[in-house]
Structure formats: structure tokens, C-alpha cells
Amino acid sequence: MWKVSFSEVWAKQLVTKGYDPMQSIENVIERILELKTERNAVILAHNYERGEIQDIADFTGDSLGLSRQAMEQEADVIVFCGVHFMAESAAILSPEKTVLLPERYAGCPMASMITASALREEKKKYPDAAVVCYVNSTADVKAESDICCTSANAVEVVNSLKEDEILFVPDKNLADYVSRYSTKKIIPWEGYCPTHNQILVTDILKAKKIHPAAEVLAHPECRRDVIDLSDKVFSTTGMIEYVKDAGNEFIIATEMGVLHKLEKDNPEKRFYNASEFTVCPEMKAIDLDSLLLSLENMQHVITVPEEIRAKARIALDRMLEIKRTR
């Protein structure tokens, strides 16, 4: 599990607020819980977050599950422990709430691989295509799309549309995965998740050699040849649900943060990283001290301009109507 580290900058801020940066983790956790009550806040954490962040969160999950939680909660404040596009989605769905992202610069490389203006130009090439936008994207890109999807419901979203052509943005690997389960013409954007894209066939073969009895579970953001070597393909929530009633050993081909939940829920089973490099630095940016400072100072507030929010909300609402099956 990732250890808590107090950076010099954060430590100075804590000192100015009367906190000792050398105080115990237990004291930090206690103060976070106090502030959560004072602010009437709810803490959401993605399955890729650090273990200690997942443990202190009120809800953990994948993008689809957390999108629903953000909308359903009666709290005044949503503290989103994830990356920027996730907090934006919460702000789109719950404009009456204050949405905080503890680490301002926690972004998503994939989301940075597409812009709204570039998407508008691409749409001109395919006037008859519906635009399906993976939630790993910015609010203004969602606003240019017909419907959003997650890795958990991408196939169902695409097959629910009447159009025969689908402009799928921004993940080419997820687009390729969807194409296997749809008769529609899928036009992929050339984006990808660096963490998943660098999981290679050689990694899977090596892991299978070391753990021959283990079942390989891959995320649909992985390359096609990695998926071909895998036994099952799931979103993170799909993995968490599947292993409960499956075997005893698993090789996990996705960001390593999900192993915390898998091991916590299934202490009698064994889970192995497909690669030692399955770490998303952006997902590990938030730790307990940045979460504490976020609640203490009500930082960093994520807002979306109304003209963009209204359009993006339509795409997200359409997504939320589609049942997750993976």
C-alpha cells in the first residue's frame, strides 16, 4: 500500500493551520472525519486511488458508479478523490453542490488527447455518425457528444443507438473492444490510456508463467493482443464483483490501485499485478494530507460553465439510463 508522504509545501500549509506535519496518521484521519461532518460532505474515491484514500471514502467505485453516487447524495459538498474529469462530471450532475478536487493538477492524459474544437472538426467528416464519448474526457468534449459511456457500459451504449456509424472518442482501445460486440461501424479517435496501453503481451506471458493457475482479468482499455490473452474482460467494478465467486488466483491487467479493494474484500485469495508499471501517477496524486487541506480550506472547487454543463448533462444523463453489464 502506498505510504502517506507530507510534501514540504503541504506541511507548511498544515503548520499555518495549526497542524503538526509529524502528527500521527490517526490524528489526520480523525480531523478529516470531523471536517466531513462539519461541511456535510461526502468523500468519493475511484478504485485506482491510494489504499488509505479508498479506506476513508464513503463510497468507492468506477466512473459509472461514482457518477451515480455524486447525483444521489444529499450532502452539500462532494470531495472527489479521482482526477479532474471525474470531479467535472460530479459538478455537471450536481450543480447545486460544491465539488472539491483535493489535488488541483490531478488530470488524465487520455482526456488531454482530445479537445472540443478538434472533435467539432472530426464530426464534420462523419455527419451521419453518433458521437459516443468515454467519460475520461473534459466537460467541453462531453458537450459536443451525443452520449457518454464508461468501460462498464460502452458496448450497451453503442448498441442502444439508432445510428449505424459511431464516432468513438477518445480511447481507441476501448473503441476496438466495443467493435467486437457491435455490428456498427466504429470510428476510433487516436487516444489511449498510457497506463493500460503499456501493459504488453510479454507482461501477461511472464505473469502467467510465474502464476500458471491464475486467471487473467483485463480492463477493456488494454491493447487487443493483451485482451486476447486474458480470460475475462471487465471494468474495475466488474472485476471486483467477479472474483467474489470465482477462483483463488488472479492476474490483474489494470491500474494497480484496484488490488487494494480486491485484497481487502477477498483476503483468502491472491492477486498479482500484470506489470510493475501499472501505476497512474495522476490517480496517486491525492493523499491524506491533501484531502485534509481540501476539507479545511474548501479547495479546489470544480465548476463548469452553464452553457457547457447543460449540453454535457444531456450526454451523461443518456449514459446513466443504460444498464451496466460488464
Query: Which residues does 263 contact at the CB level (< 8 Å), separation at least 6?
Result: 269, 271
> 166-222 pLDDT, tens per residue?
999 999 999 999 999 999 999 999 999 999 999 999 999 999 999 999 999 999 999
Model pTM?
0.89
Can you list the residues of the chain whose pLDDT is less than 70? 1-23, 323-326
Task: Give the pLDDT score at 66.
Answer: 86
Topology alike, domains 8-108+282-297 and 111-193+306-320: yes
Top CATH class of 8-108+282-297 equals alpha beta
What pLDDT is stored for residue 227 in this prediction? 98
Question: How far is 264 from 260, CA to CA, in rounded Å?
Answer: 6
What does the alpha-carbon distance between residue 27 and residue 8 come to, in Å, rounded to a whole number? 19
**Residue extents of the structural domains in the chain:** 8-108+282-297, 111-193+306-320, 195-273
The CATH architecture annotation of domain 195-273 reads 3-Layer(aba) Sandwich (3.40)
Q: Which CATH number is correct for 111-193+306-320, 3.90.950.20, 1.20.140.10, 3.90.1720.10, 3.40.50.10800?
A: 3.40.50.10800
